[in-house]
Amino acid sequence: MRRTVRLASLPLNKGKRSAIREVMGAYNETKRRFVFALRSPSMWHHLSNKRSFRDWAKSQGFYPQEVNVHLVDQAAFDAVDACIRHIKSVIARENLKARIWKRFPSEGERHYAYACLASYSALGMLMRGGTPRLEAGRLKDGQQSSIARYLRRVFREALANTWPKITLSRSMALDETLYTSMVVERPDGNPGRRQYVSMVGPRQGERIAIPLAGISRVSGNIRVVLDEGEKRAFVHVAYEMVPLPGPASGPDVGIDWGITEVCTDEHGAKHGQGYGKVLTSATEQRDKTGKARGKLWAVTKRNAGSKRARHIARNNLGTKKQARRRTRTQAALRTISGAGVKEVVYGESNRTRARGKVARNSSQRPRFLIAEDLSHLKGKAKSKKISRMCASWARAENEGRMAVHAYLGGSEVKTANAAYTSQTCPDPDCGCVSRDNRNGDRFHCRNPYWECNWQGDADQVAAMNLKSRVDDPEIHRYTPYSEVYKILDDRFLRRMESRTGGTGVPANGTASDGDRACAVEGEATAHGRTPSRPRGSIPVVGDSLPAVDSPSPGFVDTPGETQRLESEKKRNA
């Protein structure tokens, strides 16, 4: 696994900024033509081999004579990478793997469909109306044709009018033939040493020396990026990461991602507790600023062309301050996220390992890290405040850091279905699933048939359920939430029938200690009266985010809810 480090430069003078922009302009204009050529599905077989596309572009005369040939090579490779990233993002955004899993029940059919998505030449053949003849799954021709038609339809819909466009000229990739790194000794300077990256210039024989703010190892392929104000440049360098010695041998850990903290494990420990404070502060400030700017926009529209409108537009409606504030917030979130993830992966040894006081003990690193699947998370939260926080929630950043540190620590990350994990009782003898079980951050089992009374933190409950669900043969990662609810509810009813003998009371007719004061259905318990459980109503799932308002799958025990149901019955009558 490789990790990219961003090295900042010192502020650049006007001449260097102009030269870098000129080189990047030629580079991105060439890359734009290459990306347009790769738009055709007949060219997608080149995505598996960058060098074959480079050779094809040379044979077609796509290489401009006025640009360094090695720089054009990098533009061709960069164009291939951009198209690959776009296709992968379309597959992830449209949740195509989950749709395939739901559509085709056979393992052979799923295997063939996934193999088609993994092969760019097969995808190109699909988009042209063909049927890839793959050995994966060993299906008959008719079955492969049926799957190919389905994939062609859904992939065309997902890819429609979304091909990448190169509109900004702010970055370019360089190989080792296009730059050199050097450290210059400065006897009378402060600091005494300075590192420069000397890159290719806009004309033959010219070089651009970029002074770095620090000293680091620069080698291999790099990427040079100009910041938004074009005052500085950033050099992105990729390093190979070396895992820690010794295999991870610690116990498995289940975690639930959050917005008030980075994550919570199955033992109730909350990692990265300052995360929610930063998110709340940033979202409240953004909301306040947005309302104030909205009023100013209204003033400029009413007084269009006036001196006051020009003054407001010049001094109050810019984006520089917002960009700086956003950068500071993202940096703070990254810092807290990194610290929280390290605590989970490296255990207690992470706290002092930088000072060398505690060895990196492999027994404290978990063998498996079980987390929830956030790839298809979408929908509204039940309040605008939480929606704004979730909009700023860097869940991809958290998952990326988890993947990196799990690789370094020798742990394996597993993903589980998160449906109803914070609404299901973790007691294996209960398993009651109801929206009434969760109230904010607190979990209290509202079992209507016997008094379970399990209480705890809702995020801890979610982590416990994720750990127990990762190897569940019935609940797959892509199982729809409605089916998950049916499975959990059927299991709970079977437990209830085994305890009561199918009569609603214990088999011996009395409430023993093992039955936890089991009550007859319809009579009073410690949680109030328990009417029959409606099995037809399945709520919208919102375990990763706070649940939206929906009919409760459990019993109704509030007067307001009873009045609402009676009013609906009258209207329907």
Pick from 114-123, 317-326, 408-417: least confident? 317-326
pLDDT at 327 over 90: no
Mean pLDDT of 488-500: 89
**429-462 pLDDT, tens digit each:** 999 999 999 998 899 999 988 888 899 999 999 9
- With a cut of 70, say whether residue 26 has pLDDT above it: yes
Evaluate if residue 385 carries a pLDDT over 60: yes
Mean per-residue pLDDT, 462-488: 92
Please check the confidence at residue 515 and state whether its pLDDT lies above 60.
no
Closest Cα partner for 223 from 176, 173, 178, 168? 173
* Confidence class for position 136, pLDDT limits 50, 70, 90: low
Residues 523-549, mean pLDDT to the nearest whole number: 38
Confidence of residue 535 (pLDDT cuts 50, 70, 90): very low
For the ranges 280-284, 470-474, 558-562, the lowest mean pLDDT is seen at 558-562
Average pLDDT over residues 153-171: 89
Residue 297 DSSP SS3: helix
320 has a pLDDT exceeding 90:
no
Q: Which residues pair with 443 in a beta bridge?
A: 438, 456
Q: What is the pLDDT of residue 556?
A: 35
pLDDT computed for residue 174 by the predictor: 95
pLDDT value at residue 286: 87
Segment among 200-214, 382-396, 465-479 with least mean pLDDT:
382-396
Judge whether residue 383 has pLDDT over 80.
no
The pLDDT score that the predictor gives to residue 302 is 86
pLDDT of 293 over the 50 cut: yes
Q: Return the higher-pLDDT residue of 234 and 536.
A: 234
Res. 379 pLDDT band, cuts 50 70 90: low
Mean pLDDT of 273-279: 89
Question: For residue range 65-93, what is the model confidence (pLDDT) as tens digits?
Answer: 888 999 999 999 999 999 999 999 999 88
Tell me which residue has tokens 């750990």. Answer: 467
pLDDT at 355: 53
- Please report which confidence band the pLDDT of residue 249 belongs to, taking 50, 70 and 90 as the band edges: confident
| pLDDT, mean over the chain | 82
Q: Which of 274-278, 311-315, 475-479 has the lowest mean pLDDT?
A: 311-315
Q: Determine contact, residues 451/520, Cβ cutoff 8 Å.
A: no
- The pLDDT of 224-247, averaged and rounded, is 88
Interatomic CA distance for residues 1 and 408, integer angstroms: 9
216-233 mean pLDDT: 89
**Checking phi first, is residue 245 left (phi over 0); if not, alpha (psi -120 to 50) or beta?**
beta
Query: Is the pLDDT confidence value at 396 over 90?
Result: no
Residue carrying structure tokens 């008030």: 260
C-alpha span between 464 and 425 (Å, rounded): 10
Query: Is the four-CA dihedral 168, 169, 175, 179 of positive or negative sign?
Result: negative
pLDDT at residue 8 tops 50: yes
The pLDDT-based confidence of 28 (bands split at 50, 70, 90) is: very high
First CA to last CA distance, the chain: 64
What are the residues facing 183 on neighbouring strands? 195
Q: What is the DSSP string of 339-369?
A: HHHHHHHHGGGGGTGGGTSS---GGGSBSEE
Mean pLDDT value of segment 212-228? 91
- pLDDT classification of 538: cutoffs 50, 70, 90: very low
φ, ψ of residue 455 to 5 degrees: the values are -130, 150
Vertex 541: Cα angle to 540 and 543 (nearest 5): 150
What would the mean pLDDT of 26-55 be, rounded to a whole number? Answer: 94
Q: Between residues 328 and 134, which one has the greater pLDDT?
A: 328
Q: What is the pLDDT, as a whole number, of residue 371? A: 92
pLDDT at 62: 87
Identify the CA nearest to 414 among candidates 482, 346, 472: 472
Looking at residue 354, its pLDDT comes to: 52
In percent, the amount of the chain with pLDDT more than 90 equals 45
Across 129-138, 235-244, 291-300, 380-389, least confident range: 380-389
Cα(279)–Cα(387) distance, integer angstroms: 11
How much of the chain, in percent, has pLDDT values that exceed 70?
A: 83
Q: Average pLDDT of 138-144? A: 81
pTM value?
Answer: 0.76
pLDDT, residue 559, reads: 38
Angle of helix 69-93 versus helix 96-103 axis, rounded to 10: 40
Judged by average pLDDT, the poorest of 5-9, 132-136, 255-259 is 132-136
46, pLDDT greater than 90: yes
pLDDT of residue 317: 81
pLDDT of residue 244: 84
pLDDT of residue 93: 86
Average pLDDT over residues 95-116: 90
| Count of H-run helices and E-run strands, the chain | 15, 17
